[in-house]
Amino acid sequence: MKTITEPSSLTSSSFEELVREMIARLGEDPEREGLMRTPERVAKAMQFLVKGYKEDPEAMLREALFTVDYDEMVIVKDIEMFSLCEHHMLPFFGKVHVAYIPKGKVIGLSKIPRLIEVFSRRLQIQERLTTQIAETIQKAVEPQGVGVVVEARHLCMMMRGIEKQHSSAVTSSMLGCFRHEEETRTEFLSLIRQRTNGA
C-alpha cells in the first residue's frame, strides 16, 4: 500500500534539503545570501499552498446547513481561486461561479468560498477541481441541482510551453436540474455573465 506523506512534514529538514539540492542542480549556490533561507521559505509556502489536504470539505458544509423554505436559485459568483497545477506545480488562478437550487436546506454563504479554498489548496487540475466542488455540494446539501463554472489562467501555458499570455480555460460541472433542465442551466450561465452594477 502506498504511503502518503502528511503535509505537516513539509517543514522538516528533509524537505528543506530537497529544495537546497534543487537549487544546486539548477546551477545556483544555495549558500548565497539571497538563497540561504530559501529552502525554509519554500517549505512554509508549500505547506500553506497544499493545506487543503488536511480539511474535510463535506464535514465543513454540514456544519453550516440551515433549514429554509426557499427553492429559488442561489448564486455566489466571481470567487477568486488560486491553485497549483499537478503536472508542473505552477500556479493557475481565476474565478469560480457556483449555483444551486435548495431543497429544504441552504449553506451559509461563506462556506462556498471556503469549500473552493479547500479543494484549490491541493495539487489540482482544473477539471477535477470543478467536479469536486459540484459533487461535494450535491452530496452534503442534497439540493435539486448544482452548477459550477471555473474560468482560469494557467502559468504552465503562460510562462512555458506555448507561452500564450491571454488564453484561459473554462470548465463546468452541472448536476441534477442544472444538467437536465436547459432553462435552469441557461439562467445560471446568463446570470454569471452579468456585470456587477450594470458595468
Q: How many other CB atoms are there within 10 angstroms of residue 89's CB atom?
A: 11
Give the percent of the chain with pLDDT over 90.
83
**Is 102:74 a contact under the CB 8 Å cutoff?**
yes
Query: How would residue 196 be classed by pLDDT, with cut points 50, 70 and 90?
Result: low
Maximal C-alpha separation, the chain: 64
Q: Per the structure block, which three cell numbers stand in for 16?
A: 528543506
Give the number of other Cβ atoms within 10 Å of residue 199's Cβ.
5
Calculate the average pLDDT of the chain.
91
The residues annotated as belonging to the active site are: 85-88, 126, 154, 156
If you write DSSP's letter for every residue of 117-170 in order, what string do you get?
A: HHHHSSEE-HHHHHHHHHHHHHHHH--SEEEEEEEEEEHHHHTSTT--TT--EE
Question: How confident is the model over 114-146, as pLDDT tens digits?
Answer: 999 999 999 999 999 999 999 999 999 999 999
- CB-CB contact of 171 with 149 (8 Å): yes
Enter the pTM of the model. 0.89
* pLDDT tens, position by position, 1-25: 454 555 555 556 889 999 999 999 9
Torsion of CA 86, 99, 190, 79, to 10 degrees: -50
Can you tell me the mean pLDDT for 46-74? 95
Confidence of residue 198 (pLDDT cuts 50, 70, 90): very low
Q: pLDDT-derived band of residue 161, with 50, 70 and 90 as boundaries?
A: confident
Q: Return the CATH number of the domain spanning residue range 57-198.
A: 3.30.1130.10
CATH class of the domain comprising 7-49: mainly alpha
Q: Would you list the domain boundaries of the chain? A: 7-49, 57-198
Structure-derived torsion over alpha carbons of residues 62, 65, 71, 76, reported in degrees to the nearest 10: -80
Residue 37: the pLDDT is: 96
